[in-house]
Amino acid sequence: MGGGINPPLTPIRDFPSLFVNLRRVTTTPVQTGLPPKPRAAVVRDALGVGTAVGLSGFAFGVTSAGAGLTVAQTCVLSLLVFTGASQFALVGALGTGGNPLAAAAGALLLGVRNAFYGLRLSQLLGLSGVVRPFAAQWVIDETSAVALAQPDRRLARLGFTVTGVSLYAGWNITTFLGALGAAALGDPAAWGLDAAGPAVFLALLLPMLRARSSSPPAASPAGPAGDGGPVGVIGGHGRPDDPAGPRGEAEPDGDERPRDDAAPPQAAPPSSPGTPSGRTSLVRREEAAVAVLAVALALASVPFVPAGVPVLVAVLAAPAVLAVSRLRAGRSPEGGR
Amino acid sequence: MVWAAILITAAGCYAVKLLGLSVPAAVLERPLVRKLAALVPIAALAALIALQTFADGRALVVDARAAGLAAAAVALLLRAPFLVIVAVAVVVTAAVRALTG
């Protein structure tokens, strides 16, 4: 669900998937030339991801109940929406008295990345028209990460299915338990539960802003946009973490880098010629600019528009930054990305 | 209305998932579309963090939530597991609230 708890491939992460440690699976190259892998290893990886993320459903259940949703509403969200980041966003907006339609729009914006996972997965899994509508519900950060890490279609299908089943079951069971537990706690504010949502989003966001050592300058088939998009990230270098990714602990760390054999050295990648020379950027400039502008737009609009709408205003930061960046790229041929 | 928001979100999120599995790759693989899709969640997340931390109705406030978020940021930089990050934010917020009454 990363995503959202749809994780990164931002599956916001969908799911709090975000929360899973994908290190083992993500270190496996996604593209061709992957070493053969025993089915048991695939199942083990998939179950590990599925159960770890599934447990994060507890955090969602508590947050949702704390925001004032009933246990039934909370459980329906996890059953039907099944993408973590969107779920957290929706209950957060509803909890602060936001307009329900604006809240839904904000949640949907976070779910868009799943379309890009689906794009990759449909080629990889080769689903028939009959299976597709059922498989679609499981297209989230974590399942995509596992499936795309497999060397062939058979194992990709296995990984996708096992991750999907374990995550769906775990996420929904723990959502239910979390919602029940929160109800027993009483006033959510007294327990600080209103801080859970922002913390979840922060855990999702920071990995998206951090420059990756594994960003492949020239190797990315994704082209100019490759370093940002979920598909580009997955296809380019076998790191199925999307921008919204299942992160938290899944981000690249020292253990992983040396094994990412296609990875260039960490310092200023050639793909960012616009970066002032000698500057090693720790954050991705476009992404950071979007985040800063979005915060400014959101907070500035709070006094003037109904609750829930500031998020939609803030999302304009994405096309705005992209437009500026394209303009600048057009002006200096070597400066664009 | 809460139910309406839930059902709209559920239908929309499912539609987006199914769309990805169903459309020809060329449609979504245009660089501009993909870049925008990567940046939109960043904008939404950043805005949600700010709003859920500093907004109180139509006013902006700095309260215990800000302390909780700061603590979560520290935990995140220390590479704490996801659930620990969330727990730190919750506990610090509750503690600050209890101390400041």
- Say how many C-beta atoms besides its own lie within 10 A of residue A55's C-beta: 20
Which of A180-194, A214-228, B86-100 tops mean pLDDT?
B86-100
CB A207 within 8 A of CB A284: no
Beta strands in A151-292 (DSSP E): none
The CA distances from residue A153 to A116, A134, A234, B96, in Å, are 18, 18, 16, 52
pLDDT in tens, A26-81: 434 444 455 667 888 888 878 877 776 777 788 899 889 988 899 999 999 999 99
Structure tokens at A146: 């596992």
Q: Which two tokens stand for residue A286?
A: 């476009």
- List of chain B residues whose C-beta atoms are within 8 Å of the C-beta of residue A206: 73, 76
The answer as to whether B16 is a domain residue is no
HSE-up of residue A150 (Cα within 13 Å, Cβ side): 29
Of A170, A183, A178, nearest in space to A140 by CA: A170
A112 touches chain B (CB under 8 A): yes
Q: What is the DSSP letter of B58?
A: T
Residue B73 inside a domain? The answer is yes
Q: Are the C-beta atoms of A60 and A87 separated by less than 8 Å?
A: yes
Reported confidence tier of residue A239, pLDDT bands at 50, 70, 90:
very low
Tell me which of A76, A120, A194, A227 to substitute to probe the interface with B (most B C-beta atoms closer than 10 Å).
A194
pLDDT in tens, B67-89: 999 999 999 999 988 778 888 99
Closest by CA to A113, choosing from A4, A20, A11, is A11
Q: What is the pLDDT of residues A80-112, one digit of tens each?
A: 999 988 999 999 889 888 889 999 998 998 888
In-domain check, residue B13: no
Q: Is the pLDDT of residue B94 over 60?
A: yes
B84 within a domain of the structure (yes/no)? yes
SS3 B24: coil
Looking at the domain assignment, is residue B38 inside a domain?
Answer: yes
Residues 37-66 of B with CB under 8 A from A: 37-55, 57-60, 64-65
Question: In chain B, how many domains are there?
Answer: 1
Identify the helix (H) or strand (E) that includes residue A5: strand A3-6
Cα(A167)–Cα(A161) distance, integer angstroms: 10
Domain region containing B70: 25-100
Would you say how long chain B is, in residues?
101
Q: What is the pLDDT of residues A166-198, one digit of tens each?
A: 999 999 999 999 999 887 777 767 788 788 888
A132 contacts B64? CB cut-off 8 A: no
What number is the ipTM of this complex? Answer: 0.89
Q: Which chain B residues touch A199 with a CB distance below 8 Å?
A: 68-69, 72, 85-86, 88-90
pLDDT at position A208 over 60? yes
B76 belongs to a structural domain = yes
Domain assignment of residue B1, yes or no: no
**Helix crossing, A230-237 with A113-125: angle to 10°?**
40
Nearest 5°: the CA angle A298, B35, A111 is 60
What's the average model confidence in pLDDT over A153-172?
A: 93
